[in-house]
Structure 1
């Protein structure tokens, strides 16, 4: 065996390994953003210390409701949309493993038998082959590294997408649950009002039978009672639909979930504030958008590396003979070893078009990333001002409610004394009920807005979790 013919191979390998320290294409840099120092609507916001539940990502525990906690845990395990997103996450993780595998040599084996002839006088020759082949593509220009970089960024984007889907589903469930509890309170209010109107009707009938009041007072009292009973009945289908929505969110048929009515309403939590720059680290949808920018940036490097030759070190060895009996013998041994450079000399503009496509794709992801950031700022500002204004509205509404309750008490006493007609009672009763329901609806809106604000702030998620998942 003459090894001198391979005396240049170490030199080739040394130069190749030295070149692998560089990678063609741009290194990633976060796109520039116009990030304000503080939210406009944060002025006057009551700051709350970060809650432990929020820090752990269990933000729904801020509402201190055991039934709600149980439902969210069931959602985390059984929701089918979440399961689909988790499957996409596992696909992205597998792509990263596939990209890493490209750095290692590929080993293959083969065996076979063939019959053939080289001329009329040679006759038919049978040949037996047994071989082992190895090939290793050296990442001289960084094509494989950029491809791995793109796959890792895509995997982290998928992990962030999974977190965003989970947060969105959790937010939807919590909002439905809180609205259901507000509806329970509305039901109790209407049931109590119906009982009060029944007593008023009885009183009016007694006064009519005694000849004190006209028949019109009785019909007005009956109309008021039946109208309120209809409102109470109307709430039942609305509550049922909320319960059905919650059932689907936790992955069970609506027939398998019953949420018992309860007398307590969850308290409105104090939501810890944040500054705009923190949203870039706390919102999974923004993190996903940035990871797609990273992936697109790496793909530019892959496209540029296509202009450079591929260097592959290949080796093969085995046995080839014409007789099965002495097939695996030293004289039948064959082998080869050496480097190979492969370069596309003409492709009709395919590589140029691919580079142009990847650069345009990068610009697209940058624009989408910036839009995601702007949308997140808008959402936080919207929910901050909504909660702030509704807090002021709730104070005024409470004053109106207190006044309507006092007015109702006075006019009912006046009616019993015979100083006012029943029409005055009906008007004041309608006003009082309207104020009661408005106050409850306002509380429901505040609870919903608090959930939306927590979700807009990221729900306790942090971008550092992506680094943990990609290990």
Structure 2
């Protein structure tokens, strides 16, 4: 007895030592080089002044949670709120996340707690008898009712590691939901800005077409009077027709943008919202630029990649633990008999208790192959994490560069628009006094309208790229309440 006790203690100590060992990587993300700034060139402290506004890049500032409200437009805020509330794509992502959490709870419950089942059976059977020892057939009833319990000891952590892997995957889905939510808000903002810009461009282009048609009619009259050549009349008609040909494509783009915006809001395309007024949008003068080292925690996509990295590390441990023994205990008790009175009496009591120990010996190399596959998947997750971080840095760098160039381009376009407007005002006044012909005034207005067309494009680009930069900065405090809920669920598996 003493010898058996010593053997049992030694076996238990060996199991404890093995279960304490790490069967896989720790899942920590790889160290990446620290960068002083995002782009090839250091971003300036602020942009050039365009339309009276110079945007400041606040280095080290925290991301803004509801950044779209900085545009100070109630109609825009209403669109974003409606989209976050009614978007079918966001609702589908949310329900998929909820399903993943329930699957995690189910797996944790089935792996960490014993299973208890209640069963009942009532049969009437006809069996073939044994020759020369009894009747040729036996006809009998069988009644059984029992409770059965079973529990598999997680000696080497295979179940705990599997739960941890699934918890990390659910955590990744939580971050993906947060990323989808923020991406939807950014898409609604840029879609609304794009529709408003295209609408303004259509209005300006329509006026340019009116001017071109007037020039074409005047040139045709001059040709009929002999003061202009046929070539001049044909060239004027060709220019008017070419300008008119650009309008259908612009309208199609405008309608497609409005239809896409309606779908993001959860509406049908025929219920597309009216265009915003670009002039009603206030450009945010201060834009946060998160320190590169802190971007890893604020970007949901990086956090999602980090969670998948932890899941892949846990899967390596699962594949390793499956190569070690497993111990299962089972017990059952109930009543049985060939009649109801017998089954319900004390004579019908049945019970059983057992234990099974299984050690894999030969599986045709499958277990080793699964471990190598899990290790390769982990290494792929490490590479994917690095790629995600680099892509995030590039996203921020591109957004900073685009916003800086937008301000410079808008500065020149605004200058051209204002100077050409002054020239047009002077020409219109002189034309009314008869000092210059109407065609000269139209040429001056045409120059102004073209300059204004460029200014509209750069103005909307600056508004949209500002939204993209806010989006690129990620979320303050690492995400939304959905992520916190997922982490709480994941803690039950650790």
Aligned length: 458
Long gaps (5+) in structure 2: 47-55, 489-494
SS of alignment partner, residue 474 of structure 2: coil
The residue number in structure 2 matching 1:33 is: 32
Long gaps (5+) in structure 1: 1-5
The residue number in structure 1 matching 2:362 is: 346
Change (3 A) 1:122 1:77: farther
CA distance in 2, matches of 1:65, 1:293: 41
Aligned CA-pair RMSD: 3.9
The residue number in structure 2 matching 1:467 is: 484
Is 1:174 aligned with 2:189? yes
The residue number in structure 2 matching 1:3 is: none
The residue number in structure 1 matching 2:51 is: none
Is 1:165 aligned with 2:180? yes
Question: Which runs of structure 2 are paired with 1:244-255 in the superposition (5 Å)?
Answer: 244-255=259-270
CA distance in 1, matches of 2:91, 2:299: 21
Q: Which is further off, 315-324 or 7-16?
A: 7-16
Deviation at 1:456, TM superposition (A): 1.5
The residue number in structure 1 matching 2:492 is: none
TM-score normalised by L of structure 2: 0.80
Question: Which runs of structure 2 are paired with 1:17-416 in the superposition (5 Å)?
Answer: 22=20, 24-26=22-24, 27-40=26-39, 41-45=42-46, 46-48=56-58, 55=64, 57-101=65-109, 102-112=111-121, 113=123, 116=127, 119-120=130-131, 121-123=133-135, 124=138, 126=140, 127-187=142-202, 189=204, 235-259=250-274, 262=277, 264-269=279-284, 270-415=286-431
CA distance in 1, matches of 2:305, 2:278: 43
CA contact (8 A) 2:192 2:275 kept: no
CA contact (8 A) 1:24 1:143 kept: no
Deviation at 1:90, TM superposition (A): 2.1
Deviation at 1:21, TM superposition (A): 6.2
Q: Which is further off, 143-152 or 235-244?
A: 235-244
Deviation at 1:455, TM superposition (A): 1.6
CA contact (8 A) 2:60 2:291 kept: no
SS of alignment partner, residue 279 of structure 2: coil
Deviation at 1:366, TM superposition (A): 1.2
Q: Which is further off, 310-319 or 425-434?
A: 425-434
CA contact (8 A) 1:64 1:266 kept: yes
Change (3 A) 1:320 1:160: same
CA contact (8 A) 2:299 2:474 kept: yes
CA distance in 1, matches of 2:245, 2:454: 18
